[in-house]
Structure 1
Amino acid sequence: MKHMRVIFNEELNQVADDLDHMAHRVHTAIEGAGQALLHQDIDAAQQVIDGDLEIDALETSIINQCVQLLAKQGPVATDLRVVVSTLRLASTFERMGDLARHVAEIARRTYPQPALPAEITNIFVRMQAFVSNVSEQLITMLSSKDEALIERIITGDDQLDDIHRQIFTIINSDAWTGSKQQTIDTVLLGRFYERFGDHAVSAARRVGYIVSGFDPTKEPQNMHSAHEDTVLG
């Protein structure tokens, strides 16, 4: 008969595998949403919309597994931190999947016309590059638990916020040629991309908490010292 600790670790590893798969699916969805939006790719849009069901199903599976772990194994201290944080991470990734679906839905609705006027497209090219990169970093972060990478994700979000603010400068300028619907869609899309960054920061903080027990919301640079205190203590 297997020791309860061995069973717990096996089940926790399965949850971690599912979370990793979910992160990969979210990255794929974000890439597809960008392809749909920036290149009027109707097939990419539909794939993102259809694929969101798998992301939702993974979240449900992870939640159920975590609830079972909490109920059966009664984890304490570090283990509890991992299980509860995994629940939060699954919820965060599900929301990122929803955002990708929202982007794809706008691209599908406006097809074959672009959702964005030409004068704003370059801003979204930059935002797409940023969120594609950060979603890839989240995958690496889950497996490596690299504290330097966690800090980069948290502090790097300011760049996305700066790009996002430029949208309103362009919309309010005399050079703006977008229709009323394009203006609405541009504002919505900008908000969706900004939220991608916010959720990435939330995920990074969660993993930082798993690693060190320190919530790096205010001072991410303190994670390393907090980790040392945890180990030494």
Structure 2
Amino acid sequence: MAGDRAASWQSIRDTIMLRIRDRTYPPGAFIPNEADIAAEFGCARATVNRALRDLAEEGFLDRRRKAGTRVIEAPQRKATLEIPQIRREVEARGQVYGYRLLARETGPAPGELRARLKLPEAEATLYVESLHLADGAAHMFERRWVVLRTVPGIAAADLAVVSPNEWLVREAPYTHGGMEVHAEPAGLAVATALDCAPADPVLVMERQTWLHEAPITYTREHFAQSYRLCLGL
């Protein structure tokens, strides 16, 4: 590439992030040097430096002068809140964690969700319903949509063994997201899963995550009435 066709630092950043996600650059491995990346994308080394600096600031790369740039083995995302792993949350309370996959299907997302994630009408998503247990009792009922274009690897994941919550936290790095928490009547499906009355209020946590401009997932987590949300300051 040359002139006005040279890659931007944002496009280089996104391409390198995709290579980290698909293990072209596996955890702990060195990535090519700035000169080689600049030659590949037909841009100045300063452009590559800006892209790598951004990924380092986000916690995905470790840059050392004269030692090269390495993919961090356990990325530490700089976010206001970490995405909780339900298993760890339950076990931290001294309870036995359990998990059940209730439903799994592939197809377009509902219209409201497509608008939220800016998805085309025919965009393929993986829809999953699952139930998380604590000491054998219902702890949280989850509805989740995953954008397969952004996270194709989840299509082959055995979600009867590992929950989408755990799989995505481990396998799908994100750059930003949003979360909303509110209470609402359980409704019939949630009440059946959580063993409560449909009119009973339950805590609902809505969350969506993105990899730069690419949507990853949207989830609605419905918690049993005994649940307490605790946040550290």
Q: RCO greater where, 1 or 2, for CA within 8 Å and sep 6 or more? A: 1
Structure (1 or 2) with the greater helix fraction:
1
Structure 1 length-normalised TM: 0.25
